[in-house]
Structure formats: C-alpha cells, structure tokens
Structure 1
C-alpha cells in the first residue's frame, strides 16, 4: 500500500509516498481504509524534528495525525464496528508511528476511533477531527464557557478558529472573531457577533472578555490582560514564547493562560459528531490535495493565511 513517511527531518520536501506492507489489526484494533486526512501543526512539527522527544530518531516516521474512511477489518474482541462502517479518528499524538493517517490503510485501537457523522463525506470529516476536537476541549473542558459570556477567538479563520467560533456560538457565547477583514462574511455566517481585523486592532482597545481562545501563540500577555474578573484564557498555539507566557501567568489564578495537548478518544469524537448532527458545527475547507501532493499541502499550511483546513485525499488508483 501507499503511505506518507519521512526518512529524515526537514522541510516539506522530505515527505515521501512510499510502498509499505499493509498492516493487520491486532486484538482490540480496527483496520481503516483511509479516504482523507488533514494537515495539522502537529504533523509539521514532527516533520521538522521539533518533536524528537516524542517521535524519536528512528526512521521512517509516518505522517498524518487524523483520518476518515471505512473499516476494512477488525481484530479479535472488537465489538461495535463492522467492515464497511464509516469512521473517523486520530493516531496517538505522543507515540511514534511508522504508518499514520496519511496512508491507504491505518490500524488504530478502538479507543481512538468512532463512527463518523452520516451527513459528512470523508473529506469533510477529516477537516473536523483535530480542529473540532481541539475547539471542543478548549471551550468545554478547559475554560468551561457558560451561556452569555463574551468570547474572543484569536486566529478565528484557521481550522481550530472556525470550529471554535461555531461551538462558542452554539454554547451561547457572544463571539468576537479576530482575523483578516476579508474573512468577516464567513465568520459572521459561522456565528461570530463581531469580526475585528487583527492587523488594525490594538489589544488594549478591546474587551474585557470572559473567555479568550488563542490559536496564534504570540503576545499572550497582552491578550490575557483583556480578561475581565474571573476570565479564562486558553492557547493552542504553542511556541517558546508562548510557553514562557503560560509559565509566567501561573500567578494569576483563574486568569492564568491554560493549554493542553488534544488527544481525543472515542467519547469525545462521539460528542463532536453530536454537534455536527445538531447543525452546530460544519467543516471549513481551504483546499483539497491528492496524497501525491502532500508536500504542497504542507507548504501551503506553513505559508499561513489558511481559511479552515487543508485536506489530503487518498485515491487508490492515481499513485
């Protein structure tokens, strides 16, 4: 089968679509025929070598954090999944994988997969696995957004940002989206009550907010100061400066800057599917690439300016 792997750390040109042996599911595992995966910051960081402590230095290393497709086989003891079921899921982000989501087939534990929403194609589902899960964890589990609270979503036009705007709106938040002004129409349609152009917005002139969801990872101390009494802030845009700001904010109690590593398992994926089914959440896709062009997808992601997600499809006959 075909699988995207890296044989050395570096830029997008180290990505290779290799011929590898098709995996077989073990006890408690399912074999998924992958139809789509998406490009995530985690994939780029692993490829660059910044996560050597997690991925290790033993090559090849598989690429692709998430996937959507069809169950192609089950291991011993698996219940609740049959061949032909449409599923979505995610490989474990803190383990090394020689084959991951950007491949024709992937094997995962049943704890890391769930039935995909019936109304979504695999391309649409792949666009929501990581972005939607991250936004849901941030709003529901990290800052505990309550009905009527004022929410700022920073980096609102990206994958996590577009999901956060929708979920915050569905949870009853009054949503201010910070993004380029050309994305105002889309973000308003997704549920933003106000859209501000980040290039002309001075942080000191906005707020106060009850909740801030940051996907950028810079100037965190400036935005943390825009929290009102009892306000909460969470960032998913990690960088050395972000980690320093998170550590420094620990003295501020509830107004500290929180972060987490999204690692959704079946219950959260089911909850996410519920938001899709209810109409509260829909995918936003910037561009779709064939697996053979995954290097171009990574390059586009790194250039920035993405609206929603870059998705990679896995055609069987074109490679």
Structure 2
C-alpha cells in the first residue's frame, strides 16, 4: 500500500454510528513545531458523538468527509524543525483539543506543546483512556480548588472524566459521592467513592449539601447548583445540547453570583498538564479505567456502545 496514505475513520454525512467507515487519506507531514505520532490507540468521547450526529454543525460545518477521534496514545514517528524535549520513538499521549478531530487514524500531527510522555510501565492501550483525565485534574484542583475534608459530588461518575474525578477526589482527601447507575455502583466505589447514588431515582434536592459539584452531563445545572453550601463551587464541562442557548445563558448569568458561580471550561491541555498527569499516575492517584477495547474497523461499534450508556471508564480503540 502507498506509504503516503493511511487508514482513518471517516464519515461522509452526519448521522448515527453507522455513517462511520475506515477509508484512506493522505498521511500528514508535521509542520514546524509539530510531531508526527504513530497512533496505537484512542478513546471514544461524548463530544465526538455529538459532532458525528450533526448536533454541532454550526461549528463543524458541512464539509465532508469528516474525521473522528479527539485523543490518542502512540509513539513519535517524526518531528519537524523547532521541536524540543521530544525524540523519535518517545511514547506519548495527547488531545487534539480545539484543533478538531482526526486521531482515529494510523498517524496524527500535533503541536509538540500539546503532547506529553506516557509514564514508564503504562501500556499504550491503557494510556489511551487517560488523556481526558487532564480535564478532571483541572476541574477539581485548579478550577474548584478542592481541599481535603470537603464534600465532592461527581455527576456522571462512571464515565471517562467522571471515573478520573472520583479517583482524584479520593486522593485529594475529599468525601466523594458518585452519581451512577446501580449497575455501576460497585465500579465507582472501587474507584474510591464513599457512596454511590442512583441518579435516576434520587432527586438532586435529596442529595444534601456539597462543597464542590463536578458535572459532566450539562443538564439541570440549576438544580445541582442549589446543592452548594456556603463557599461552594460548581464546575461543568458540558452544556445541554438540546437547549444550548438557554444552557449557555444560565452559565453566563451564574457569573454574577460570586462564590456560587458555575464554572464552565473546555479542555485543551498542554505538555505541562500531561506531565502533571503522568506524575498523578506515577504517584498512584490515578489509574486507567478501560471498559472494552475495539479494533479500528469497529469504531462504529464503540460509538454505538457509548451512546447506549452504561460505560465504565472508557471505550478504547486500537490501531494495528
């Protein structure tokens, strides 16, 4: 096969998981300041499901074919001029972030400042479950300032960011309540949650008071914000895609309420944050949670599984 091309996951229209297929595209070349990464694995994230379905078309547009994949683990295959601190053969992980999609492929180019080295001893397939954990670190430590002894509520605790947040909350000394399906209760308790609560049968108002609420769902923000005690902080990494204007409007309006503001951010991690993530892993504060591993040709099945709900950690896709 022509070594100037590579396999990549594509879609020619918006729709369900079945629009995804594996095709061939030109193999990218790194621009100055970039590295070419041979992808070994990537995970499936909620944001790319929404993009594939066309729910973000005001941002993603109508040009096809479109690509899939937001994060990755692999090895540096080449580096362009201006790259320092990374060498060919280094095991790395990263997130494409606001630059878009495209890690569901044999190779990806990315700014050298947007990747970090994978800790020694961590398998690259397992490593692919962790790049989004930078979001949990930023949310709890940097945005919320979570302190030992505080009460933390994690909404969406069994998912990719949520499962990392449960582990980190426990490691940071918080009392952790995890919202999850009953089938995932033992899973989140195994990650370190002090208690697991069924989000479908317990009303937010009955959950009690919390110092920090981490939301990964984006709906009913007003109800969960009411759970904050004096000096409480709420961080969300999502908004309601069915009511985007109202959801974003509420986030903006909450800014006038001082310490009870709902803080929203979208992860776009740097090498420093990946280095910090590696330290958290090496110190035993964080471990990968891989639900199921799929081959590249079954990326659509991985999307379908995540849409069905019930994931425990991450669905990871390997690239042969």
**TM class by smaller structure:** over 0.9
1:312 aligned onto 2:313:
no
Alignment partner of 1:75 out of 59, 76, 80: 80
Correspondence 1:192-231 to 2 at 5 A: 192-231=193-232
TM-score by length of 2: 0.92
Q: What is the alpha-carbon distance in structure 2 between the residues aligned to residue 38 and residue 210 of structure 1?
A: 31
Instruction: Give 1:300's aligned residue.
Output: 305
Displacement of 1:181 after TM fit? 2.7
Alignment partner of 2:130 out of 113, 128, 137: 128
SS of the equivalent of 2:49 reads helix
Displacement of 1:96 after TM fit? 4.6
CA contact (8 A) 2:97 2:267 kept: no
Displacement of 1:122 after TM fit? 1.3
Q: What is the alpha-carbon distance in structure 2 between the residues aligned to residue 121 and residue 261 of structure 1?
A: 27
In the TM superposition, structure 1's runs of 4+ consecutive aligned residues that sit over 6 Å from their partners are none
Instruction: Give 1:268's aligned residue.
Output: 273
Aligned length: 311
CA RMSD of aligned residues (A): 1.6
Instruction: Give 2:192's aligned residue.
Output: 191
CA contact (8 A) 1:61 1:96 kept: no
Displacement of 1:244 after TM fit? 4.4
SS of the equivalent of 1:9 reads coil
Displacement of 1:33 after TM fit? 0.6
1:90 aligned onto 2:92:
no
Instruction: Give 1:291's aligned residue.
Output: 296
Instruction: Give 2:149's aligned residue.
Output: 148
For structure 2, list consecutive stretches of 5 or more residues without a partner in the other structure: 1-5
For structure 1, list consecutive stretches of 5 or more residues without a partner in the other structure: none
Displacement of 1:6 after TM fit? 1.9
CA contact (8 A) 1:119 1:277 kept: no
Closer, same or farther: CA 92–248 of 1 in aligned 2, 3 Å: closer
Displacement of 1:237 after TM fit? 2.9
CA contact (8 A) 1:56 1:96 kept: no
SS of the equivalent of 2:306 reads helix
Instruction: Give 2:51's aligned residue.
Output: 46
SS of the equivalent of 1:44 reads helix
Q: What is the alpha-carbon distance in structure 1 between the residues aligned to residue 283 and residue 275 of structure 2?
A: 12
Q: What is the alpha-carbon distance in structure 2 between the residues aligned to residue 159 and residue 259 of structure 1?
A: 18
Q: What is the alpha-carbon distance in structure 2 between the residues aligned to residue 86 and residue 155 of structure 1?
A: 30
SS of the equivalent of 1:20 reads strand
Q: What is the alpha-carbon distance in structure 2 between the residues aligned to residue 194 and residue 83 of structure 1?
A: 45
Displacement of 1:175 after TM fit? 0.7
Q: What is the alpha-carbon distance in structure 2 between the residues aligned to residue 21 and residue 225 of structure 1?
A: 51
Task: Tell me which moved more, 265-274 or 181-190.
Answer: 181-190
Q: What is the alpha-carbon distance in structure 1 between the residues aligned to residue 307 and residue 78 of structure 2?
A: 35
Instruction: Give 2:259's aligned residue.
Output: 254
Displacement of 1:14 after TM fit? 1.6
CA contact (8 A) 2:153 2:212 kept: yes
TM-score by length of 1: 0.93
